[in-house]
Amino acid sequence: MSESNSTAAPAAFAVQKRRLRLLGLTLDDTIKAFFGGNAVVAIVVLTLITIFLLREGLGFFTQNSQSLRVYRQAGLEYVDFIRAEVDDHTALTRYLSDLRLRQFTALTETKQLPLEEANAALATFDAFADRFGSTVDPLRSLLSDLTEQATAIKTKFIVTGDKKEERRQLLAEGKTAEAAAVQIEETDFAGELKPLLATLPAFKEGNREFGRALLATLDGAPVMPAPELAVRMGKLKQLTRAYVAGLPAVEHALETWDYTRPIPAWKAVSSFVFGRQWLTASFWQDWYGVIPLFIGSLMVSIVALVLAVPLGVGAAIYINQVATLREQRIIKPCIEFISAIPSVVLGFFGIAVLGQALRALSQVSWLSWMPGFPYSERLNILTAGCLLALIAVPTIFTLAEDALNNVPRAFKEASFALGASRLQTIVKIIVPASLSGIISAVLLGLGRVVGETMVVLLCAGNRIAIPDFTAGLSVVTQPVHTMTGIIAQEMGEVVRGSIHYRALFVVGLVLFALSLLINYVAQGIVRKYRISIG
């Protein structure tokens, strides 16, 4: 019975359709797989961005570590101890010339003396300043000698590296004879450094003499006419004494300095992350520290957000809660339209119009109470910040308006029913209910601003230095350089594969990570504090 069953053909369906199969997939499956493949593209692109930024950028850290090693072995680090000492002295003389300027303006403006007489009155002060300044001269000449020596050692090492590379290339091409002909002289750092280190006793001698001479000049300091200036003179004396007291520490650092001490591996990373100098194509030593660029980006973004958040959120509240339907219909597309202005056009507007206009505004006399006004740099943090605010406002406005829109009607109605006014409802009910959305809107606006390139490249002033925060709020009138700007500016000029090139990719990596972080936090806030309607 069972046998006959198994041999019988399976019952046919009333309607049967043969399906074409490709690799075991029906046509519909194939189509689905095709669309699915397209959906994966977003993931693939993100992965590829990560891979290629790492591929070009990671080499930076080995190259940087190598560069730091040469910096030590060729004695550049040794010379920089002395350079720091001399630079500190220069800072003191700058303080002194600032003092002279104050005295001079006091004489010309309050006492109304003509220029020649004012200069004559300052003759004793000038003599003192000259003595003060010239104490460092012997050290400075020693420094320039040492600089030359160290540079020579470094150059020798680099030439050797180039020759090695040449030989490697020749060997790769199979030209053994030519490769053998390339003369390579291994750099003997110990031997090369000997004359450099031999100057230590002379330096010690000179250093003590320098300290004594400096203190001796202080005794001959002229008496200041005004109490305010006398305080400053006292400050200078105090600073100078502290400086002289610090001189033996430099000697100690030089004595204990050892060129064979290895550079720890984390130095290559920390000198990038915490480096306070971005200095390239220098004859002495290149530094790739991201801090000045990071601070520049941060300052510009802060200024932009300070301007954009009140405007964007205020406009969103107005459009969503206060405005008439007709106003809404007209204004909403207009603000969206602003977001379509290309950033390079805004940058051009900043160079051509806004920079000058803001500077002219800063020189209006009744505005001089504002911090930093008047200023002379046309392109600075403020100019770039104002334009970036215009970029951030539409983003913040659109997203914040969406968030306000998502507050359930019942909230508003309940509030009105309890007798609250419109303003009370907005401030106490609607805005708190949509706060998570508003915050994430601000964060996404920040993401937009940090990643913006053309405006900061054209309008931020492009001076690679940490702005002077001692100036207080007027720091916003100083020029800076930014992470996005430096990539756009220097990428076109660098040699492929060089340390500078790789450093720019690492800056790109930092930007990429930053944008992902901002996105992640913004989404997290929305998810965590989403209002439950129930």
Partner 1 sequence: MSAPAVHLFQSQPNAARRSERAAFWLFRAATYLVLACGLGVFGTIFFKGAGTVFKAEAPFINTTFFTDAPESLYIFEFEGKKYEMGDGAFRAFKEKHPAAAKVKSESYVYSAGGIYPCIVGTVLLVVGSMTIALVLGVCAAIYLNEYARDGVFIRFVRLAILNLAGVPSIVFGLFGFGMFVIYFGWNVSLLAGWFTLAFMVLPVVITASEESLKAVPKGFREGSLALGATKWQTIRKNVVPYALPGILTSSILGIARVAGETAPIMFTAAYVVRDKLPWDVEKAGDFFFQGVMALPYHIYVVSSKIPQNDYTERVQYGTAFVFLLVVALIAASSILLRNHLRSRYKW
Q: Which of residues 341-360 bind partner 1 (CB under 8 A)?
A: 341-349, 351-353
Q: Which of residues 186-245 bind partner 1 (CB under 8 A)?
A: none
Residue whose token pair is 């010309």: 108
Site string for partner 1, 431-460 (x = CB under 8 A): -------------x--x--xxxxx--xx--
With CA atoms as reference, report the closest residue to 305 among 427, 476, 464, 465: 476
Contact between 48 and partner 1 per CB under 8 A: yes
Contact between 399 and partner 1 per CB under 8 A: no
- Measured from the CB atom, the residue of 16 and 470 that comes closer to partner 1 is 16
Contact between 76 and partner 1 per CB under 8 A: no
Q: Which residues of 40-66 are buried (b: 16+ CB within 10 A; e: fewer)?
A: eeeeeeeeeeeeebeebbebbbebbbe
- Reduce the DSSP state of residue 261 to 3 states and report it: coil
Query: How many angstroms separate the CA atoms of 187 and 160, rounded?
Result: 7
Helix, strand and coil content of the chain, in percent to the nearest 5, comes to: 75, 0, 25
User: Applying CB under 8 A, which of residues 266, 274, 337, 469 lies at the interface with partner 1?
Assistant: 337
Q: Which of residues 483-502 bind partner 1 (CB under 8 A)?
A: 484, 487-488, 491-492, 496
Q: Which of residues 373-392 bind partner 1 (CB under 8 A)?
A: 390
Q: State the nearest-atom distance from the C-beta of 173 to partner 1, in Å.
A: 20
Token pair of 531 as six digits: 């209002």
Q: State the nearest-atom distance from the C-beta of 340 to partner 1, in Å.
A: 3
User: Applying CB under 8 A, which of residues 31, 216, 410, 418 lies at the interface with partner 1?
Assistant: 31
Q: State the nearest-atom distance from the C-beta of 295 to partner 1, in Å.
A: 18
Phi, psi of 461 (to 5 degrees): 95, -20
User: Applying CB under 8 A, which of residues 68, 407, 518, 525 lies at the interface with partner 1?
Assistant: 518
Q: State the nearest-atom distance from the C-beta of 454 to partner 1, in Å.
A: 5
User: Applying CB under 8 A, which of residues 2, 16, 38, 376 lies at the interface with partner 1?
Assistant: 38
Site string for partner 1, 152-191 (x = CB under 8 A): ----------------------------------------
Q: State the nearest-atom distance from the C-beta of 286 to partner 1, in Å.
A: 20
52 neighbors 254 (Cβ within 8 angstroms):
no
386 neighbors 460 (Cβ within 8 angstroms):
no
Query: How many angstroms separate the CA atoms of 478 and 466, rounded?
Result: 10
Token pair of 145 as six digits: 């000698």
331 Cβ contact partners less than 8 Å away, ≥ 6 residues apart? 315, 319, 323
Within 10 Å of residue 269's Cβ, how many Cβ atoms? 14
Contact between 43 and partner 1 per CB under 8 A: yes
Q: Which of residues 299-318 bind partner 1 (CB under 8 A)?
A: 310-312, 314-315, 317-318
Query: How many angstroms separate the CA atoms of 22 and 29, rounded?
Result: 9
User: Applying CB under 8 A, which of residues 87, 130, 205, 336 lies at the interface with partner 1?
Assistant: 336
User: Applying CB under 8 A, which of residues 119, 151, 277, 515 lies at the interface with partner 1?
Assistant: 515
Contact between 27 and partner 1 per CB under 8 A: yes
Q: How many residues form the binding site for partner 1 (CB under 8 A)? A: 83
- Measured from the CB atom, the residue of 124 and 424 that comes closer to partner 1 is 424
Strands 21-22 and 278-279: unpaired
- Measured from the CB atom, the residue of 143 and 509 that comes closer to partner 1 is 509
139 Cβ contact partners less than 8 Å away, ≥ 6 residues apart? 82, 85, 86, 203, 206, 207, 210
Phi, psi of 25 (to 5 degrees): -110, 140
Contact between 42 and partner 1 per CB under 8 A: yes
461 Cβ contact partners less than 8 Å away, ≥ 6 residues apart? 377, 379, 380, 381, 383, 384, 478, 479, 480, 481
User: Applying CB under 8 A, which of residues 322, 367, 410, 533 lies at the interface with partner 1?
Assistant: 322
Contact between 361 and partner 1 per CB under 8 A: no
What type of residue is 69?
A: R
Q: Which residues pair with 149 in a beta bridge?
A: none
Q: State the nearest-atom distance from the C-beta of 262 to partner 1, in Å.
A: 32
- Measured from the CB atom, the residue of 297 and 477 that comes closer to partner 1 is 297
Q: State the nearest-atom distance from the C-beta of 219 to partner 1, in Å.
A: 53
